[in-house]
Structure 1
Amino acid sequence: MTELGSCAPHRRDDDSTAPGTEHGGAPARSVGIVIIGRNEGQRLVDCLASVASAHAPTVYVDSGSTDGSVAAAQGGGTAIVRLDMSRPFTAARARNAGFRELIGIYPDLDFVQFVDGDCVLDPRWIGAAVDFLNSRPDVALVFGRRREMHPDASIFNAMCDEEWNAPVGQALECGGDTLIRGDAFKAVQGFSDTLIAGEEPDLCVRLRTNGWSIWRLDAEMTRHDANITRFSQWWRRSVRAGHAFAEVSRRHAGSEFGIWKPSLVRAVVWGGLPIVAVAAALLWHPVFVMLLGLLPLQVIRLGLRRPEGAKERWAHAFFSVLGKFPEFQGVARFYASLLRKGDRTIIEYK
């Protein structure tokens, strides 16, 4: 983690827009926006257009894009931060850099909205989120409904859309799009720069440890373009999830506010089952191969738990079980990195 609010902010290029330029009117000085991205192309253009209606000071943090994203972000009052390429890129590092830049320009901001560059912000969201936080001083951050733009494009997009639909009310964790109190963010020193995934739930654990609450509002927030159309993309994303389960649960293992232990156990039990079954069959008795039969039974169990007639009912169940294998791979990758005592590299899926 880095000290937030005390480090000198990253400065933009000399030819970028001056600090404080307005988005079509006076900036909403109580709220600032941080967008992060890497090679998002048209998605970033759409994201920037969507936040303009908030008339809020905006910072875009670029993580080494080579597709012209920085040029697309220039103009319109958006400050631009280019991350130092000599250090590994992480979403956590990008968001922290954006926050530092934002409060360096507007030190009196009350709230910061984080948005991923492949998302489009709902124009009603910030108003609803700020109203809620103003009425609930015990809540540090809020998030709403993130939806996939193209859930029907692939089963993987559909699964993402379902994943985003967290229950309304008090929550244990959030995703990348969230509106947070600036003071609360600074008090816990922001995101952990070293986490390559799971930085948002890690932040939530530390906020809850400090007595804050996390809330999911019944309001539209963002539309996300996962664009996961290939099996290999889905596999890498699942590897990243397993890595996050292992690292974040280990980091907070001794805390009553710890998170993701059940997810870690499921990844290890189901993902490691074939290894155990085959090893036991070779070492002791062939009957242990029958343990593999638990996998299709789990698919059936999960499929039957879904609502009757639910779209792609069995595909969801199948990939939920299959996903435990790449998750297990991610868990193994994390613990292998601990043994090597080496740096962990970001796991990209698109």
Structure 2
Amino acid sequence: MIGAVLIGRNEGERLVRCLASVAGQADRVVYVDSGSTDGSAAAARAAGAEVVDLDMDRPFTAARARNAGLARLTETGPAPDLVQFVDGDCEVQPGWIATAAAFLADHPQVAAVCGRRRERFPAASIYNRLIDTEWDTPVGEARACGGDALMRVDALQAVGGFNPALIAGEEPELCVRLRQAGWTIWRLDAEMTLHDAAMTRFSQWWTRARRAGHAFAEGAALHGAPPERHKVRETRRALAWGVGLPLLTLLGLAITPWALVLLLAWPAQMLRLRLKGESGLRAVFLTLAKLPEGQGVLSYWRRRLTGGPIALIEYK
């Protein structure tokens, strides 16, 4: 038996498409709403989904919403063996769930399987195009999956589900615990979902990269010890390029204007990435992303040291 958990907040027409895309592919559909004001919960009920209204008196995270959806599936009604998680701004491609379920049936050691996520409107902006390329990861055994994936319910329950305290990076963190428990993660060469990033502004891209930096730092804090070294490399790169180099340049300028030469490391890095096969666009933005990622790393440690509240970093 297969269930589906959709999460969202004010997704509007995107949620309507998401609900229609899982109809007929899952035996039960649960939509977890996080304080929507656009009638999303009513639209989900009209589409035949079970609706969970998340208690917004507690800090919201996508991980907490997914856990709430899984709890509804397993604690009420017939419990599924598999659960398809999907964000409310995505659509599940026809036949994906059947393909993924067949793979899990043939590979009992696999806990989670994902496929190709694509942007619905990659030509709408350079940022959408960048994200579409970002989704194009290698097929085969993987270290992690994203927010859209078909998972075994028993494997999820055995490791305690998603970590509800994480504001980002909850899927790779879950996969760390699944792999430590002896499970594997796979990515198939199959169309899985269409995603609507709706990213048209540089500020949105910057905020999303800052959220990634926060996730790097938190992931490294949780699982950075050997042999996993989860997100340690990414955190160090964000700090070196996004914090260390600008700071060193500013300090150097107090001594000599020749310190500006240090900034040539940025175009040199872009050229290196280009020579490694990245497109010119990706080479530029992968390098620039280290600035907001560095900010995200610092914001995580500031929150941890001061005991600040959990707060989402949302780009739309």
Give the TM-score normalised by structure 1: 0.87
The residue type equivalent to 2:286 in the other structure is S
Q: Could you tell me whether the CA contact under 8 Å between 1:157 and 1:227 is conserved in 2?
A: yes
* Alignment correspondent of 2:283: 317
Greater displacement, 51-60 / 95-104? 51-60
Instruction: Please list the CA deviations of residues 42-93 of structure 1 after superposition, one character each: whole Å capped at 9, or x if unmatched.
Output: 0000000010021420000001111111111112321000110101111000
* Alignment correspondent of 2:185: 214
Q: Could you tell me whether the CA contact under 8 Å between 2:3 and 2:26 is conserved in 1?
A: no
* Alignment correspondent of 1:115: 86
Q: In structure 2, how many angstroms separate the alpha carbons of the residues matched to 1:87 and 1:102?
A: 21
Gaps of 5+ in 1: 1-29, 308-312
* Correspondent of 1:165 among 129, 136, 161: 136
* Correspondent of 2:293 among 327, 332, 338: 327
Give the TM-score normalised by structure 2: 0.96
Q: In structure 2, how many angstroms separate the alpha carbons of the residues matched to 1:62 and 1:87?
A: 14
Q: In structure 2, how many angstroms separate the alpha carbons of the residues matched to 1:254 and 1:279?
A: 32
The alpha-carbon deviation at position 171 of structure 1 amounts to 0.5
* Alignment correspondent of 2:252: 280
Instruction: Please list the CA deviations of residues 272-300 of structure 1 after superposition, one character each: whole Å capped at 9, or x if unmatched.
Output: 21112211332x55443311110011112
Q: In structure 2, how many angstroms separate the alpha carbons of the residues matched to 1:304 and 1:253?
A: 30
Query: Aligned ranges for residues 1-350 of structure 1 at < 5 Å?
Result: 30-272=1-243, 273-282=245-254, 284-306=255-277, 313-350=279-316
Q: Secondary structure of the residue that 2:23 maps to in structure 1?
A: helix
The percentage of aligned residue pairs carrying the same residue is 54
Q: In structure 1, how many angstroms separate the alpha carbons of the residues matched to 2:261 and 2:139?
A: 41
The residue type equivalent to 1:59 in the other structure is V
The residue type equivalent to 1:339 in the other structure is L
The total of aligned residue pairs comes to 315
Greater displacement, 107-116 / 167-176? 107-116
Q: Secondary structure of the residue that 2:123 maps to in structure 1?
A: coil
Q: In structure 2, how many angstroms separate the alpha carbons of the residues matched to 1:210 and 1:255?
A: 16
| Structure showing the higher helix proportion among its residues | 2
Distance 1:110 1:258, change over 3 A: farther
Q: Could you tell me whether the CA contact under 8 Å between 2:2 and 2:26 is conserved in 1?
A: no
Q: In structure 2, how many angstroms separate the alpha carbons of the residues matched to 1:66 and 1:143?
A: 31
Greater displacement, 101-110 / 159-168? 101-110
The residue type equivalent to 1:168 in the other structure is V
Q: Could you tell me whether the CA contact under 8 Å between 1:73 and 1:80 is conserved in 2?
A: yes
Say what the alpha-carbon RMSD is for the aligned residues. 1.3
Q: In structure 2, how many angstroms separate the alpha carbons of the residues matched to 1:124 and 1:63?
A: 28
Q: In structure 2, how many angstroms separate the alpha carbons of the residues matched to 1:255 and 1:98?
A: 33
The residue type equivalent to 1:63 in the other structure is S
* Alignment correspondent of 1:310: none
The alpha-carbon deviation at position 320 of structure 1 amounts to 1.2
Q: In structure 2, how many angstroms separate the alpha carbons of the residues matched to 1:84 and 1:195?
A: 17
Q: Could you tell me whether the CA contact under 8 Å between 1:205 and 1:258 is conserved in 2?
A: no
Distance 1:279 1:212, change over 3 A: same
Q: In structure 2, how many angstroms separate the alpha carbons of the residues matched to 1:73 and 1:277?
A: 53
Q: In structure 2, how many angstroms separate the alpha carbons of the residues matched to 1:86 and 1:323?
A: 33
Structure 1 segments, 4+ long, off by >6 Å, are: none
The alpha-carbon deviation at position 241 of structure 1 amounts to 0.3
The alpha-carbon deviation at position 339 of structure 1 amounts to 1.5
Q: In structure 1, how many angstroms separate the alpha carbons of the residues matched to 2:28 and 2:179?
A: 28
